[in-house]
Structure 1
């Protein structure tokens, strides 16, 4: 007698049959149905049910890795483990394809459950082993999913919890610092209880972005968040942006800003060229965008680039090549309005400086030495700074060689150009 109807994702079936890197010895659908059953029983999603009492149907419309049981709950399976039982990728293990499962469950108004991949679970049980999660980011994904109501059980779980917004931000930003070359997201909370999420919607990163934005949206009231901004800071390989994904984030009442905001910024400025003479056209400073792009360029340093000052909201986005000089170059016809606008908001044309060092940098008392990649005091001002302001002892570059070397070749060329402009100005 059939008691349980189980719809199986066709994509999941195909992935299992094509998993050549794991010795799973699974040759057909019936064997896959068997390991799915074993997993559901192990995780207690099925209780006191025999395999013969289950009816399995391959469903081509389920665009995720998993099954739906009796149309009452959905089970999402993790990525299959490698032959040595390690996760192949922190991004693809759980987060990457989760959205499709979440969307189907939401449309059907059913619970989402999560299990370890059935192939991996069978092999672990065969060798009497337990799966040990390899990365903090996977534990973080589990913690986020649990916070938004996703059920975990025996095969895949974590004791990690998220106590508050500050804890969550600290965890996410530590992961970013540990994986600085991985384009992970970075989160900033302002004094106004606004939250800025710097992330991307490309490929494997979409899962992390979706989970983070969903969590912050659902915790908005509990965590006293007034406004959430999502800043798309990289669009890898110049892929066309997915409006569907951006609309999903907008549905969470999240404000979207991205690198392409600059394009509309250029267009607005260029519209001024036809009706007005050049000397009547004014550049826009757009300091908020400029400050964010400095953060993006230099891997989200949150303290003064020249000292230990760390009150982020008080840091000033200081132009290396001054706004007034860029504007002057445009007025004289040396550069186009589009180029001038780009230079004004170019992240590598700026430092985040405390109020003191902002003044010193503007006046030319200190400068950035491109050869040593460090801040230095200008020789003819050393006595002034040593005897009067005593700032020399506090001058220490927080913008390290390592941070600068993360710039690509084009960004580094622009950075050198801007620094040379500053050095030339203060030397005249």
Structure 2
């Protein structure tokens, strides 16, 4: 039988302690979410301050550490963003849990609706709907930390009763495929990009570690590490920070502690030797695809869907391709910086990679788009077939993407395939 309490102590972060409206909303929330506290009144609560910033509170008598979601929009009572509703404030909460509460006897983690939003939506007897990506966030946090989702979220967010089963069959491969699929909603400027290479036995995450994306990247990476360990894959894990260069050692340590090799090295003129030595990366290679691809992502992510070939819409087995070949660069030692430079790279599907390599297609600097090489392809039917497959994706971004180094690399390719002297 559950014990009912007449007095309780609730610890809250310092930014809550002087705000009676928030404290009263917390009491209303716990009355609803925890039946053994249903009769607790505001005057029955002893409030204590925690001198750290996080979104949540700790109920001493029950050892309940409660995380609260982002506020709903006060006018529409809908989620402000599918990317931030669950995750935005979760990382500071987890850090506080691991620092102060993890070793407490029988501490349980709960997730509740933001108390201010709860008061509003309860009074209006309204409901809101959460996006599919929020279900995935719930799955990740439940799996990683054992969160219990309370009634305030389940009842007012129209969550299916089987939400815990929704993604129960996720494995490493299906999770990464799912994250890539869900990111299709945002075609350009993706904040986090996932790649799994079965051949190299590597998982690479490319991320912008800024704002809410720090928490998003961390929890996704931690879930990947958990699946990697659970399935005994032992894949090598890499995190390329594509923006900005992170100075906060605590953020870097968070990712290192979960087994990721961090490449906090995002200039498109990367010194490959320095990066590999400093960060203890994979064995030295002139074709370091991870670093090269990170630079391509950094340059092009804002303008194209980075999960697609630059010359068409194919999405599988994409290759980071050199414009000026590495074999030719090696003959000119002064050009070594272009081995991993984005100014010397495109991303292709396997077909367009070979067609570009063999000079069947080329990049026209004037029109700033890929074209079929009529010198190589003189059969009209073949020419039309190849031309039909090419999509014009880059021409409207000529001003942003054009550079002297890019022109320099393209001219090497045009010269090699015989289109210029």
- Same fold per TM (> 0.5)? yes
Larger deviation: 170-179 or 221-230?
221-230
Partner of residue 106 from structure 1, selected from 88, 98, 122: 98
Q: Is the 8 A contact 1:40 1:46 kept in 2?
A: no
Aligned residue in 2 for 1:294: 296
**1:18-417 correspondence runs (5 A):** 28-29=19-20, 31-44=21-34, 46-51=36-41, 54-70=44-60, 72-83=63-74, 84-107=76-99, 108-109=101-102, 110-133=107-130, 135-148=131-144, 149-157=146-154, 158=159, 159=163, 160-164=166-170, 165-192=172-199, 193-236=201-244, 240-260=246-266, 263=270, 265=272, 267=274, 284-295=286-297, 297-299=299-301, 301-302=306-307, 305-306=310-311, 312=317, 316-331=319-334, 340-353=335-348, 357-383=352-378, 393-394=385-386, 400-402=391-393, 409=400, 414-417=405-408
Alignment RMSD, CA only?
3.5
- Structure 2 unaligned runs (5+)? 278-283
Question: Secondary structure at the residue paired with 2:24?
Answer: helix
1:65/1:408 CA distance change after superposition, 3 Å: farther
Q: Is the 8 A contact 1:284 1:341 kept in 2?
A: no
Tell me the distance in 2 between the aligned counterparts of 1:220 and 1:163. 14
1:75/1:287 CA distance change after superposition, 3 Å: closer
Aligned residue in 2 for 1:422: 413
Superposition TM-score, scaled by structure 1 size: 0.76
Aligned residue in 2 for 1:274: none
Q: Is the 8 A contact 1:229 1:257 kept in 2?
A: no
Larger deviation: 185-194 or 52-61?
52-61
- Residue 6 of structure 1 deviates from its aligned partner by 0.6
Tell me the distance in 1 between the aligned counterparts of 2:233 and 2:285. 33
Q: Is the 8 A contact 1:386 1:392 kept in 2?
A: yes
Aligned residue in 1 for 2:281: none
Question: Secondary structure at the residue paired with 1:210?
Answer: helix
- Residue 98 of structure 1 deviates from its aligned partner by 0.9
- Structure 1 unaligned runs (5+)? 15-27, 271-281, 332-339
1:354/1:50 CA distance change after superposition, 3 Å: closer
1:393/1:116 CA distance change after superposition, 3 Å: same
Superposition TM-score, scaled by structure 2 size: 0.78
In the TM superposition, structure 1's runs of 4+ consecutive aligned residues that sit over 6 Å from their partners are none
